[in-house]
């Protein structure tokens, strides 16, 4: 597999956000080997993903390449699926470190893209992603990719805390003082070094003055 520098150069457009394996009995006609290779070379995530398990060139290594191409093109869902398929098929492969990194990075891109529309979903998904990244950092502390993932934990915490404050402010606007206070206190307790913590302190002062 390419070295870290090569991989990161391939992923630069996104960093600002963010053996045969044909299934027995599969009724689909095998795709020519060069169709998958051509899709990968063209950076066509959809075409590559649809051919990921077809043809003599298919396999775990190609799944990882498909995941990388999909990440480059911003198709985070397919990138995560491809990386997950690689990890499921080759749990002891030398590149599981990179596959797990790719899976987490695609998840982060998907979470960032979702924005702030649904704070409860943002909290739920952010916590799940935070657990994934924390597990990676704990189990692979010497990984060459850990340095790239660690700062994303900071952004995850900020985003989750911000979503918690959105819910606190919504409760305050509805006149639900007890819920607003509870959420603001939660932010101060669990996310003390975030911008949302300062917002929570101001909300608590407002509530105390009312």
Q: What is the tens place of the pLDDT at every residue in 103-124?
A: 999 999 999 998 777 899 999 9
Q: What is the pLDDT of residues 166-196, one digit of tens each?
A: 999 999 999 999 999 999 999 999 999 999 9
What is the pTM (predicted TM-score) of this model?
A: 0.76
CA distance 210 to 175: 11
> Given the structure tokens 């985003």, which residue do they identify?
159
Predicted local confidence at residue 116, as pLDDT: 72
Higher pLDDT, 51 or 8: 51
Q: 147 — alpha (psi -120 to 50), left (phi > 0) or beta?
A: alpha
CA distance 151 to 154: 5
Packing angle of the helix pair 60-72, 33-42 (nearest 10 deg): 30
What mean pLDDT comes out for the span 96-105? 95
How do the domains of the chain map onto residue ranges? 1-114
Mean pLDDT, the chain, rounded, equals 83
């Amino acid at each position: 597999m390419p070295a870290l520098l090569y991989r990161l150069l391939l992923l630069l457009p996104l960093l600002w956000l963010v053996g045969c394996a044909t299934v027995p009995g599969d009724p689909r006609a095998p795709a020519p080997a060069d169709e998958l290779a051509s899709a990968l070379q063209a950076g066509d995530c959809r075409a590559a993903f649809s051919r990921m398990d077809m043809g003599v060139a298919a396999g775990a290594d190609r799944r990882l390449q498909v995941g990388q191409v999909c990440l480059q093109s911003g198709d985070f869902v397919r990138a995560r699926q491809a990386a997950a398929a690689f990890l499921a098929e080759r749990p002891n492969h030398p590149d599981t470190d990179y596959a797990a990194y790719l899976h987490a990075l695609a998840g982060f891109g998907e979470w960032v893209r979702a924005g702030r529309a649904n704070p409860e979903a943002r909290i739920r998904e952010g916590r799940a992603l935070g657990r994934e990244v924390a597990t990676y950092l704990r189990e692979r502390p010497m990984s060459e990719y850990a340095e790239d993932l660690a700062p994303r934990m900071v952004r995850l915490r900020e985003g989750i805390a911000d979503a918690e404050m959105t819910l606190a402010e919504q409760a305050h606007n509805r006149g639900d003082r007890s819920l607003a206070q509870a959420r603001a206190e939660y932010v101060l307790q669990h996310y003390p070094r975030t911008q949302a913590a300062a917002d929570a302190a101001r909300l608590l002062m407002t509530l105390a003055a009312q």
